[in-house]
Amino acid sequence: MANKPISPNPASNSALSPIAVSERVFSWSDHTALWFSLGVGLLVMQIGAYLVPAVGSRDAAVAIVLGSLVGAGLLAWTARLGCSTGLSSAGLMHAGFGSQFARLPVLLNMVQLIGWTTFELVIMRDGTRAISLQSFGLDLGDTSGLLVSTLLWGSVLVALLAGSMTRLVRQLISHIALPLVIASLLWLSWQFGSQLQAQGLAAFWARQGDGSMGLLSAMDLVIAMPVSWLPLVADYARHGKNGRSAMSGTWLGYALANIWCYALGVMVVSVAQPGTDLVTALLLAQGGLLALSLILVDEIDNAYGDVYSASVSGQSLRGSWSIRQWGLVLAVLCTALALVLPMHSLEPFLLLLSSVFVPLYGVILGRLALGSPSLAVSNKAVDWMAAGLWLLGIVCYHLLANYAPQWGSALPTLALTFTLAWLTRPTTAALREVHA
């Protein structure tokens, strides 16, 4: 793919312009560390815990591995596009759908990122409450306890957003957070793997599901997690030194973390007592308190990643505010929402996001990711063909989910929108007419 920068909008808005060469500092190891760290989380383990009762152990393993490789592959492909063009996620949306229509997916992206950040704050708050109760006998479940623990994590988020994103990734995540979280995952895997072996691996592997979900539907649920990061990946990848390292580092880092955390969720639910929630099961494991605490601390980078990307999207809509100003405002907003909104219904939320962003990025990749990106960019306010394909993809996703769930929704929708977008991409001659 050509590395020629493309610019769908004036250079006055940094969110919509190719990033300067001086800011391209991420190496392969930075991409790998960032996306491994972002792929690790209690939320991923909780979703993994949903799989075994529904599809059984064998199909869960297949769904986890294949779904993670496919989902991380989409992330990696988008990372290469973002790095090669130097554009943010909002810039890619403008390039693919036109400067006016792109505001709709950009706004939807900001809504989902605010939702994810609120999720993360609630998860960190609940984890803090569980650790406090287990270790010190202190119940933070009353109003004052919930307020203090939520504001604690919200304050940490605000403090991180006041600093430099690239410095955070290259120093804090790569050199400090990553080794600690890997050690935690290794310890928890050893603990729950040993319990699983004691109960009998053959019986675990032969365990059947209740039939409430098929293999392809389970893959949809696994793919939903990396797909939720699709509208963010370019915001970080454009800081990479070259597209190849951005692609391979993102793919390896996220796929490994996603497989590991989904599998750990499966192991935990398979050995825990019925009715025991994930956090409690982790705490009851030997050394679980320390391991959970480290994972909980690592969870803050997920919230940071969401808010930073939402800030880049926000700047694309209102360029007079800097990314840092947007970040501080959004972090405060998410902290307030975490205090008042119920945020524990996960599966419908994840699948709804997939129905929007799978076809969106099917169109973007079909239009921009093959050949020279400059061939697919015009100055149109609305690219009606691209917009129509996106809406068609959303309809297709929900029709498949309702009437043919055995085939899954994500992969057929992605294939349809990508193929149609590639077949209908603007030609060089057509673009000359637009620019003339």
- Asked if pLDDT for residue 429 goes beyond 50, the answer is no
Ranges of beta strands (E only) in 232-286 are none
Question: In the chain, pLDDT over 90 holds for what percent of residues?
Answer: 41
Domain definitions of the chain by residue range = 24-205+231-345
Q: Could you tell me if 24 and 32 are in contact, meaning their C-beta atoms sit under 8 angstroms apart?
A: no
Cα–Cα dist 97/361, whole Å:
11
- Asked if pLDDT for residue 194 goes beyond 80, the answer is yes
- Name the average pLDDT for the chain: 85
Distances (CA, A) of 296 to 13, 40, 55, 123, 245: 35, 10, 29, 8, 29
Say which CATH topology domain 24-205+231-345 has: Hydantoin permease (1.10.4160)
pLDDT of residue 334: 94
Mean per-residue pLDDT, 399-419:
89
pLDDT digits (tens, 9 = 90+) for 130-174: 888 877 777 777 778 889 999 999 999 999 998 889 888 888 888
Q: Is 308 helix (H, G, I), strand (E, B) or coil?
A: helix
Q: Which long-range contacts (CB under 8 A, 24 or more apart) does 127-132 make?
A: 127/42, 127/279, 127/292, 127/296, 127/299, 128/152, 128/153, 128/296, 130/279, 130/280, 130/283, 130/292, 131/283, 131/289, 131/292, 131/293, 131/296
Mean per-residue pLDDT, 314-336:
92
Widest CA span in the chain: 72
Of the given ranges (333-347, 357-371, 407-421), which has the lowest mean pLDDT?
333-347
Of the given ranges (1-10, 12-21, 111-120, 363-372), which has the lowest mean pLDDT?
1-10
What the block records as the tokens of 344 is 């524990």
- Asked if pLDDT for residue 389 goes beyond 90, the answer is yes
pLDDT of residue 285: 80
pLDDT of residue 227: 85
Q: Could you tell me if 78 and 91 are in contact, meaning their C-beta atoms sit under 8 angstroms apart?
A: no
- Asked if pLDDT for residue 371 goes beyond 70, the answer is no
- Asked if pLDDT for residue 37 goes beyond 80, the answer is yes
Q: Could you tell me if 8 and 91 are in contact, meaning their C-beta atoms sit under 8 angstroms apart?
A: yes
Question: In the chain, pLDDT over 70 holds for what percent of residues?
Answer: 91
Q: What is the pTM of this model?
A: 0.87
pLDDT digits (tens, 9 = 90+) for 256-293: 999 999 999 899 888 887 777 787 888 878 887 888 88
